[in-house]
Amino acid sequence: MSGAAFTQFSDVKVAQDGQVYVTWVVVKIGLNGTQQFVEKIKRAGPGSTAFGASSVVHSFAAGGAAGEAVPFGGVLPGLNHDRVATFPRLEVMRVGTSNKLFSVYEACQATAFFGVSCQNPRVFLVASTTNGASWSAPVAISTAGVDAFFPDAAADWAVGGKLYVTWYGMDPDLTGAPITDFRHRYALMGRSVNPSTLALGTTSRLSPPTESNADALGVALGLLTIIGDYQTAFAQGGLLYDGFTAAYFKQKALGAGLPVHGQDNWLAVVTGL
């Protein structure tokens, strides 16, 4: 599918007409250790496993229209960076008489510490009406200067073809808090996107906020309250479902000792977004 290149993060979607779309990321390692991510896509016809040639969805680059990808081994504010890297997510839906593809991802608006630390990550969307052969310019989904990362997209085919984008975002109450604050409070965020015009709906908080480093003991033990798991969205019948991770309760670290914030899996069910 992807050839011999170093690849990661595959996503697959099947359209209403049965066409199959697969995306993945090619990671190009520079001589100085820098990482450039390139998202690619292939398509197969209904019921077929014969995929055509690949096309480029988006190339991440310093100073580009949407910034750099979060690299492997990179750092996002307040997260356990063992699980941090940009994972573009794909969605497809029928718009008019043809399929329209959407890819969402976060990109660093700047980097520090030799490209390792991602500064001001922001969520973007690109769209294609040509089965992935060409793509729109990036559309900013989240607010500039407010950390946003790990997005997903979900299409509700049953309700006039409605598209949603969800992500983890910094709680507005703490916008602008310095990285040395160690109290980065995040919540699951989301908004609707008009699939035809890409006009954006109002951003809404979909979950209570959780602080990523709320306990000094938890920080010392490396038990951050957001580990950095990717969240997953699904929409049907006017409802948006989102599986995400958050820490709202304390538990004993490794089953012993003083209680610290742990992390659990949660489901948000949203209407009226």
Confidence label for 245 from pLDDT (cuts 50, 70 and 90): confident
Do residues 58 and 126 make contact, with C-beta atoms less than 8 angstroms apart? yes
The 10s digit of each residue's pLDDT in 20-30 is: 999 999 998 87
What global pTM score does this model have? 0.88
Amino acid 36 reads: Q
Give the mean model confidence (pLDDT) for residues 230-254: 85
Percent of the residues in the chain that have a pLDDT greater than 70, as a whole number? 79
The 10s digit of each residue's pLDDT in 71-100 is: 887 777 656 555 678 999 999 999 988 999
Confidence label for 124 from pLDDT (cuts 50, 70 and 90): very high
> Any long-range contacts for 108-115 (C-beta under 8 Å, 24+ apart)?
108/67, 108/68, 108/69, 108/70, 109/67, 109/144, 110/67, 111/62, 111/68, 113/75, 114/33, 115/34, 115/35, 115/68, 115/71, 115/74
* pLDDT score of 179: 44
Domain spans in the chain, listed from the N-terminal domain onward = 48-270
